[in-house]
Structure 1
Amino acid sequence: MYLINGEWTDNLPANDRAVQFGDGCFTTARISDGEVKFLDQHLLRLQQACEKLLIPFIEWSLLKSEMLQLAATEKQAVLKVIITRGSGGRGYSAANCQQPTRLLTVSGYPSFYTQWREQGISLALSPIQLGINPHLAGIKHLNRLEQVLIRTHLEQTPAQEALVLDSDGWLTECCAANLFWRKGSRVLTPYIDKSGVNGTMRQHIIACLAGTAWQVTEVRESVAALAEADEVLICNALMPIVPVHQAQGWRFASRELYQFLAPLCE
């Protein structure tokens, strides 16, 4: 069941813009001991996405209340929140959309993340590249066909996550996570100004490292840059941070940065 505009139902109108055009945005948050982790950051990312997509959603206090309500009884779970432009009209014009749709759902927390954090994971280079679109870059909109294809190809490999390039050949992200790597005291992460998602945990990590001995730099690099890395890790709001022991043919044993960040990302 889904909480759609305040009502528990499995029914979303067929003319909702999410169904017709993927016209909306979403965020996925971790619930721990009845609390939504990084709640304000998740709300902010939704607000920024709605502004970018020109979705006139205004019920932020109500949405926050619903998020807290759904989390209150959960020990460890996943909360997904979707905002669509709503229903109305056959074509691309949004002129007939009267009210945005808010949709919330809770699901079980993936148990494999614990094993990933303990053992590390491997990454495989995806043959699917991300299209470049500076206007949509960074936000988590509902157009996720690229990620569906990336995941489909990934499932044909033994790797747990994908290395994803944009159509210019630059490292951008993983299928469902952001990417960091370390060279000495330098911490590098791809620019997210032309494609990819600027994840809440990515933003949190960059903020955590500011003012420390670690020097964070956003870069445009090819996948070959990882050959010189001392350490690689990935992150998202659910993991929240996972070490990488292998990417392509390169292996990484260090967990120095991971051990520094892990307690800060809980």
Structure 2
Amino acid sequence: MFLINGKERDSLAANDRAIQFGDGCFTTARVRHGRVDFLEAHLQRLQATCRALMIPFADETLLREEMQQLAAQKGDGVLKVVITRGSGGRGYSPAACLTPTRMLSLSPAPVHYARWREAGITLALSPVRLGRNPHLAGLKHLNRLEQVLIRAHLEQTDAEEALVLDSEGWVTECCAANLFWRAGDTVFTPRLTHAGVNGIMRQHCLSRLAQSRYHVVEVSAREEAVQQADEVLLCNALMPVVPVKAFGDVRYLSHELYEFLAPYCELSD
């Protein structure tokens, strides 16, 4: 089901800048019992990204209502919200784009995440690297061709997720998740100043870890740091956290950090 600018439709204008240039942003939220998990955090992300992309989005109140109304129609599922700069003009200039487009869609909840949480997953190193761009780093914009290629390569392996490096070889994220690893009482997560997405669940985990006995470090690290860790886990708004059991020939036996974070990642605002 799609809701575009408040109307039930399944098509977007051909001159919408999302189609022409990938000009926009999105967020993906988990719906449980007819409610949107971390609703305010998702709205704040969209507003912050629109500001960074200079998209004049001012319909937050209306969008909140649409998200809640759409979620209420389904017990559990996935709610995706896309904000585009809208339609107008032919070239790169956004000057003629005065009204952003908001698009909401609701789909079934992924069934495999429960299995992943119970059994753990394996990682494969992706041959596709992320371009470095400090101006766009952290943002969940619509330019996702890198992730499409990462997923295409991943599907040629037996692994469930991909460890992704940036163009300089620094560990950045996974195809559709953020990454944490633990060595003793120190928890590491990639620094996202040049590439990657600063996910809602990553932010939630960092907030919880800041109040714990663990020492948290955002770091620039090579893949060897992940291989040498005591424990590795992934997170996103839908999983919400999943333990990694193997990366290549390295196996991880500890679930200490996962068991600490998992209960808090089920909490919503």
- What is the aligned partner in structure 2 of residue 182 from structure 1? 182
- Within a 5 Å distance, the mapping from 1:217-256 to structure 2 comes to 217-256=217-256
- What is the aligned partner in structure 2 of residue 258 from structure 1? 258
In 2, Cα distance between equivalents of 1:216 and 1:30: 26
Alpha-carbon offset, residue 249 of structure 1: 1.4
- What is the aligned partner in structure 2 of residue 32 from structure 1? 32
In 2, Cα distance between equivalents of 1:43 and 1:143: 20
Q: Does 1:59 align with 2:59?
A: yes
- What is the aligned partner in structure 2 of residue 149 from structure 1? 149
Question: SS at 1:96's partner residue?
Answer: coil
The total of aligned residue pairs comes to 266
Alpha-carbon offset, residue 143 of structure 1: 0.1
Q: Does 1:204 align with 2:175?
A: no
- What is the aligned partner in structure 2 of residue 12 from structure 1? 12
Alpha-carbon offset, residue 123 of structure 1: 0.3
For structure 2, list consecutive stretches of 5 or more residues without a partner in the other structure.
none
- What is the aligned partner in structure 1 of residue 133 from structure 2? 133
Alpha-carbon offset, residue 231 of structure 1: 0.4
Deviations 1:24-72 (A, max 9, x none): 0000000001110001110111011000000000000000000000111
In 2, Cα distance between equivalents of 1:255 and 1:235: 14
Q: Does 1:43 align with 2:53?
A: no
Of 224-233 and 24-33, the range deviating more from structure 2: 224-233
In 1, Cα distance between equivalents of 2:218 and 2:249: 24
Deviations 1:78-132 (A, max 9, x none): 0000000000111001111120000000000000000000000000000000000
Question: SS at 1:221's partner residue?
Answer: coil
In 2, Cα distance between equivalents of 1:29 and 1:160: 21
Alpha-carbon offset, residue 211 of structure 1: 2.4
The normalised TM-score by structure 2 is 0.98
Alpha-carbon offset, residue 264 of structure 1: 0.3
**Pairwise CA RMSD of aligned residues?**
0.6
Paired amino acid for 2:206: I
Contact 2:56 2:98 in 1 (8 A): no
- What is the aligned partner in structure 2 of residue 85 from structure 1? 85
Q: Percent identity?
A: 63
In 2, Cα distance between equivalents of 1:55 and 1:204: 26
Q: Which runs of 4+ in 1 moved over 4 A?
A: none
Paired amino acid for 2:70: L
- What is the aligned partner in structure 1 of residue 71 from structure 2? 71
Question: SS at 1:254's partner residue?
Answer: coil
In 2, Cα distance between equivalents of 1:97 and 1:224: 46
Question: SS at 1:97's partner residue?
Answer: coil
Contact 2:165 2:171 in 1 (8 A): yes
For structure 1, list consecutive stretches of 5 or more residues without a partner in the other structure.
none
In 1, Cα distance between equivalents of 2:25 and 2:230: 35
In 1, Cα distance between equivalents of 2:227 and 2:156: 24
In 2, Cα distance between equivalents of 1:241 and 1:227: 19
Alpha-carbon offset, residue 227 of structure 1: 2.2
In 1, Cα distance between equivalents of 2:178 and 2:25: 18
Contact 2:29 2:78 in 1 (8 A): yes
Paired amino acid for 2:150: I
Paired amino acid for 1:247: F
- What is the aligned partner in structure 2 of residue 104 from structure 1? 104
Alpha-carbon offset, residue 4 of structure 1: 0.3
In 2, Cα distance between equivalents of 1:46 and 1:227: 34
Paired amino acid for 2:43: L
In 2, Cα distance between equivalents of 1:98 and 1:133: 27
In 2, Cα distance between equivalents of 1:163 and 1:68: 34
In 1, Cα distance between equivalents of 2:88 and 2:227: 51
